[in-house]
Structure formats: C-alpha cells, structure tokens
Structure 1
Amino acid sequence: MYPHDGFRELDRRVCLRLLAGAPVGRIVHTRHALPAVLPVDFCLDADGAVVLRTSAESELVRAIDGAVVAFEADEVDATAHSGWSVVVTGRASAVTDRTEHGRLSRSGPRSWAAAPDGVFIRIETELVTGRELVGGRTGHGADLPS
C-alpha cells in the first residue's frame, strides 16, 4: 500500500499467528459516544476469534456486548526500530452458552485481575489487518532524531 514508508502489509494468516503470541492487546469501543481503549489479556480461540475475560459487573461488558469493536495488539522493538501491529474488527458478544463457558474456563484466557464472576467476551474476526515495519530507520528516515 505504501511502498516507500518501510511498512509491509500482513495477510490474515500471519496476523492471526502474531496475535496468538501476544500477551496483551487493546480493545477499542465507544464509551459515552467517545472512543475508549482498554488494555486486556486475551487468547485466540480455535476458530480465530479473540476471547477475553472480565468481571460480569464490569462496565466493559455492558459497553461492548453486541457492539462492533476493534481489537489491537502489537510488538515493538524500540532499539531496532521494528515491529508489527494487528487490528481485528468484529462484533463482540458475551458467551452465554454454559458448555462454551465451561470450555473457555478450562482453556481460555486467565484474567490478570481476580474475577470470580468472570464473563468471556468473543470478538469475531470479521476484518483482520496488519502491518510490519521492515527495515526500521533506514533510507529517508535515518537522519531523524531518536
């Protein structure tokens, strides 16, 4: 897309592989008609959906259940001036099926904050995009200050 800016677009398969290895991502949703971003721990389900866990009482559940959201994860190497970013856009929904909830309780993400009344949220990977910075600060950007 931008052949001279040092970025390379990533295909869906590579994006999902990178997401699977990321420990933390950010969910982007609407809060009081404004954009809101929250860091969350997550995992990828077998079908490629992003799954996160939060408290049933959290404002996040009410804000995103049934809404279209974005989810982003990345990795940056500040020394090498390289990294990648993946964005998933899709509908979020609270997992209400007891069998599915039980399966995710065993194999899904472990919340970093204790949440005995945990709710799992699935974000369908309807649109997946990613970019990788290749080459870092070479070429036209080499003389920029650090």
Structure 2
Amino acid sequence: MYANDGFRELDRWECLALLATVSVGRIAAVLPVNFCLDRDGTVVVRTSVSSELASAIDGAVVAFEADEVAAAAHSGWSVVALGPATLVTDPVEHARLLRTGPRSWAPTSREVFVRIAQELVTGRRLVGGRTLYGVHFSS
C-alpha cells in the first residue's frame, strides 16, 4: 500500500519492539496517556480513578496509537494497536503495576490501570530520509 511513498509496513513484532521504546501513546480520542508494555505484551495505561477515560473505555474495543517523529530528519514511525480495554481490578495485579507499570506524569491519590489486549497491531516507518538544505537524513 505504501511501497512507493517512502513508508514501509511494519510487522507485529517490529510494532511491539517500537512500542517498548516510548512511554506516551494515544487512546482513539487522541488523548495522550502514560503507558507501558506489560510482560505479556499488552498495553497498560495509568490514569486517575476519577477520569472519564477509565470509565469510558472499560469493556470497549479501543484504538491505541504511539509514535516517534524526528521532524528535522523527516523520519519516524507510528504503531496502532486495536483491542478490548479492561480495568485492572485484581488487587495483587494492581499492586504489581504500581511498582512496575507506567509512571504517571501527573500523579493523583487514586490511580487505576487499564489493560489493552491487542487483537490487531499495525504500523509503518518512514524510511530513506530526505535531503534538507543539502544534508541527507536517514532513518
């Protein structure tokens, strides 16, 4: 689909490897959230227990997106994961995620974790770079 426009489709494992390198992604509403990939490869989002996000996506199928862009080099990548989101309600699992899960940039007194089990993971990377002011950039 993108064979001639400088983009290369990424397979699932390349997508998961890229997701493991960043800590901020977006839920379909394009809301930045802190996240991490858990040990089973699922996306775990940390948010306030009182946030509308937690109640809105619990039990819903969501699209989650993360990317990294190097604007000056005209390079980057984007990964989208699609799957059901569920609140982590098990107290032992919640305690583990407090220690090992994503760190909140705006901590609150009561936080919850939302797990997104990816049923579909797709992505693409801008390859080849471009020349800008006589300097060649590559990805």
Compute the TM-score of the two structures, normalised by the length of structure 2.
0.90
3-state SS in 1 of match to 2:95: helix
Matching residue within 76, 79, 104 for 1:83: 76
Residues 60-96 of structure 1, C-alpha deviations (whole Å, 9 max, x = no match): 1111000011111111111111110000011001000
In 2, Cα distance between equivalents of 1:78 and 1:100: 39
Identity percentage over the alignment? Answer: 71
Matching residue within 105, 119, 122 for 1:112: 105
Compute the TM-score of the two structures, normalised by the length of structure 1.
0.86
Matching residue within 32, 48, 53 for 2:46: 53
Aligned length, in residue pairs: 131
Q: What corresponds to 2:95 in structure 1?
A: 102
In 1, Cα distance between equivalents of 2:112 and 2:129: 40
Matching residue within 105, 118, 123 for 1:130: 123
Residues 101-142 of structure 1, C-alpha deviations (whole Å, 9 max, x = no match): 11111100111112221100001111100100112347xxxx
Q: What corresponds to 1:16 in structure 2?
A: 16
In 2, Cα distance between equivalents of 1:120 and 1:100: 10
In 2, Cα distance between equivalents of 1:6 and 1:105: 40
3-state SS in 2 of match to 1:102: helix
Check the 8 A contact 2:23/2:102 in 1, yes or no.
Answer: no
